[in-house]
Amino acid sequence: MKNIVVLISGNGSNLQAIIDACRANKITGNVVAVLSNKANAYGLERAKLADIPAYFVDPTLYNDRADYDKALIEKIDAYQPDIVVLAGFMRILSPDFVTHYQHKLLNIHPSLLPKYPGLHTHRQVLANKDSFHGVTVHFVTEELDGGPMIIQARIPVLPDDTEQSLQTRIQAEEYRIYPLAIGWLADERLKMQNNQAFLDDIALFDNLD
């Protein structure tokens, strides 16, 4: 069973989907700790309700991002993680952090990457009158939302869609594909090589470099 550590900043609904998937034996692993950079993140309460150690790591106690990330690493490594999952963790990570967890650090982003890295993806989709929207799970590299893509889900943009309706429908896809990707990594079927993701030794996406 793989040890999974999850980093959150908010509600933790993806965290809940991951916890549920572990307990349904859809992931060969367990969430062993949850960390947040926000004291009031409801995801910390979700962790406690599931008897998972939960920590608020206060950014104001550290001089800069590098010092904060060193503290995160120390806290995470105490749980000997096999997989580190970003689930709505709203901080840009330092290169040292990314390098430390290279090949086992995953993120989910609400767009069809490489379109719309960063924030407000639903708003951008509506503003640009896109026909489709989606969500991407990817390995984390130093490039913001730019690591090797693992899996995407796509939904049509409906005529009456709003940011809220898109978010709701995208989240339903997130809860489906994020546990799936984590399960692949836990089963050692998923690997990152030469800045590309491979599942069962087959490249998942064309290398975009």
Is residue 109 among the annotated active site residues?
yes
Residue of 109, 122, 133, 138 marked catalytic: 109
Residues forming beta bridges with residue 106, ordered by sequence position: 85, 139
Query: Which positions are annotated as active-site residues?
Result: 109
